[in-house]
Amino acid sequence: MALDEPKDNDEVFDVNGFQFIMEKEFYDKAQPVKVDFLGYGFKIDSSIEFDASNSACGSCATSGGCGE
């Protein structure tokens, strides 16, 4: 997630005063997409399955999660 301005190839969603922008081609692959605010950050769920080899923590040298 990052701050961005909508472009011609983006889907734009207004939810409770927040604007969410996602590239249309990626949205077609990822839908349904659910964004929850947890009080300390956002949790994003989609139909795309990620494993350790393609996640941000895939290269961590810990046996648990990153930062443990």
Q: pLDDT tens, 6-58?
A: 999 999 999 888 889 999 999 999 999 888 889 888 888 899 887 766 555 54
pTM: 0.58
Residues 6+ apart with CB under 8 A from 9: 23, 24, 25
Delimit the domains of the chain by residue range: 1-31
Q: Smallest Cα–Cα separation from 31: which of 18, 44, 19, 41?
A: 44
The pLDDT assigned to 52 comes to 62
